[in-house]
Structure 1
Amino acid sequence: MDDIKKAAELILNSKKTFALTGAGISTESGIADFRSSTGYYSKMDPAMALSKDVLLGNPKRFYKEGYLILTDLNEKEPNKGHLALAKLEEIGKLNGIITQNIDNLHTKAGSKNVYEVHGETRGIHCMGCGKEYPFKVMKNKVEKGEIPPKCDECGGVLRPNVVMFGDMMPDAFQKALAELYSTELLIVVGSSLTVSPVNFLPDYAEKLIIINNDPTPQDRKAEVVFNRSSGEVLSQILHEVEKQL
């Protein structure tokens, strides 16, 4: 049995399947891996670009560096890897997605049950009163020179709904972890599995499928490993699953 058929069989026979996705699934949408030689952090210090301390203490720097990453992500569209995962959920063969990505591409692709453990760039909120706004409100205020942008209700500082350096992990992480206690199969897509605490999540699943361009620390535990394009692999797996339904 070839690896595509083996992966499809694992999905078809699994009682509960989740996907765990990282930056690698989004490279085909034109988003460079954050830590690659051509990624966002090759030109800036990640601990400063998306840092809560910089957001509050040096907002001009934040809106010159980290904010540009967030606005760039908002322009991207899902690729065939995102669409394949959404389809697997639609046909009842994927229970949900846990993603490290803040690019919104899983929700744009139509996935419904998505745990965004590093946050998202669809919205912002006031650090004073908690009022929520769409991301375009921040964009409009920044374009008008309002740095940092302030809440219309209480005058508090607005911030993106992303997990920055210095932030606690959001509730989505604990909810994702709870899902994995009963997950039989985890499909890891585009993650190096080196960023804590997400890199510990595969330990909670009984079986693993890993799709990543480079080797990961969990490869030895996986039922099958693909070191090639996630969009291509996921599309082929979906086709095989649909053939056998």
Structure 2
Amino acid sequence: MNNMQSISPEKCAEFIREGGVAAFTGAGISTAAGIPDFRGKGGFYSTGRYNPDTVFEIEYFKTNPKPFYDFSRDMLEIVDRITPTFTHFFLAQLEEMGLLSSLSTQNIDPLHQMAGSKNVICIHGSYSSMNCLRCGKYYGLDASLEYIRSQDVPRCGECGGLLKPDVVFFGEQVHGMNEAMQEIAESKTLLVLGSSLVVYPAAILPQWAKRAVVVNRTGVSIPTVPEQYMVERELDDFFRQVAEYVF
């Protein structure tokens, strides 16, 4: 690993207590809560209910949206049964204490918000709202979830047009890249949690950090970051130990 060092929970806590912390989270923090990944064994695509080449393709969605909504209902049913992880709550508490200034996530689930995080940049969008592709009518979180759960293919109550959640499809621009880049560049320490940094363009964001602490099951290196540390452990196991030195 380039410039990669090991780090103890106590040293990580020391960085966090300095403040100016940003976080970048990937699928690993959600799978730890019980949400399957996409392509792994037991993942969403292994069910055969949706084609991985088309379910998140925007032009396909416009002509055949049902597979995407089948996926969405499956995921939301899982979210209804689970709770955020210790690490989700830990990040929310750091924000409340003024130690963590921003949180950027690649995930489309609402677990960070459920844990209490406020300043969340959802790079790949979320289910927090929907818009009609015909008339542009906006629907908030509660209405969006109700439409998804009650209709095979949600349609606008005003014009009958197709509704699309604020989830980023292939062929669409990701959200908040400039804001996330600025937050990370201005931070003292970036926590990179549960991401293998292989999904672009979001994967380039950690390269703007001055100092990065990467916690993931497998090793990850971030080009251009002068000071970086690697922890190959389960997120909750590591941050339970870190929390003992922070609080």
Q: Mark yes or no: TM-score above 0.5.
A: yes
Shift in CA distance, 89/36, structure 1 to aligned 2, threshold 3 Å: same
**In 1: Cα distance, 2:76 partner to 2:155 partner:** 18
**Alpha-carbon distance in structure 2 between the residues aligned to 1:19 and 1:239:** 19
What letter matches 1:47 in structure 2?
A: D
Deviations along 1:157-207, one digit per CA (max 9) or x if unpaired, are 10111111221112x222212222312211000001111011111110100
CA distance in 2, matches of 1:20, 1:143: 30
Residue 48 (structure 1) aligned to one of 40, 43, 54 = 54
Please say if 1:85 is aligned against 2:99. Answer: no
Identity fraction in percent: 35
Q: Deviations over 1:119-169 (max 9, x none)?
A: 11233221223322245645655666x553221123221011111122111
Partner of 2:178: 174
**Aligned equivalent of 1:190:** 194
Instruction: Return closer, same or farther for 1:127/1:151 CA change in 2, 3 Å cut-off.
Output: same
Aligned position for 2:3: none
2:239 maps to what in 1? 234
For 2:196, the aligned partner's letter is: S
Q: Supply the RMSD in Å over aligned alpha carbons.
A: 2.5
User: Per the alignment, in what secondary structure is the counterpart of residue 49 of structure 1?
Assistant: coil
Moved more, 50-59 or 34-43: 34-43
CA distance, structure 1, for counterparts of residue 146 and residue 198 of structure 2: 36
2:127–2:145 contact (8 Å) kept in structure 1? no
Q: What runs of 5+ residues in structure 2 fail to find an aligned partner?
A: 1-5
Aligned positions of 1:87-102 closer than 5 A: 87-102=93-108
Are the structure 2 counterparts of residues 98 and 47 from structure 1 closer, same or farther at C-alpha, using a change threshold of 3 Å? same
Contact 1:135 1:160 in 2 (8 A): no
Greater CA deviation, 190-199 or 30-39? 30-39
Q: CA deviation at 1:54?
A: 2.1
Secondary structure of the 2:91 match is: helix
**Residue 104 of structure 1 pairs with residue 110 of structure 2:** yes
Q: How many residues are aligned here? A: 238
TM-score (norm 2): 0.85
Pairwise CA distance, 1:61: 3.4
Kept in 2, the 8 Å contact 1:73–1:103? The answer is no
* Map of 1:24 onto structure 2: 28
1:106 aligned partner, one-letter code: H
Q: What TM-score do you get using the length of structure 1 for normalisation?
A: 0.86
Q: What are structure 1's unaligned runs of at least 5 residues? A: none
- The residue number in structure 2 matching 1:207 is 211
| Alignment of 1:118 onto 2:124 | yes
Q: Deviations over 1:58-93 (max 9, x none)?
A: 2233334x3344433542321111001111111121
Q: Against the structure 1 CA distance between its residues 10 and 130, is the aligned structure 2 distance closer, same or farther, given a 3 Å change threshold?
A: same
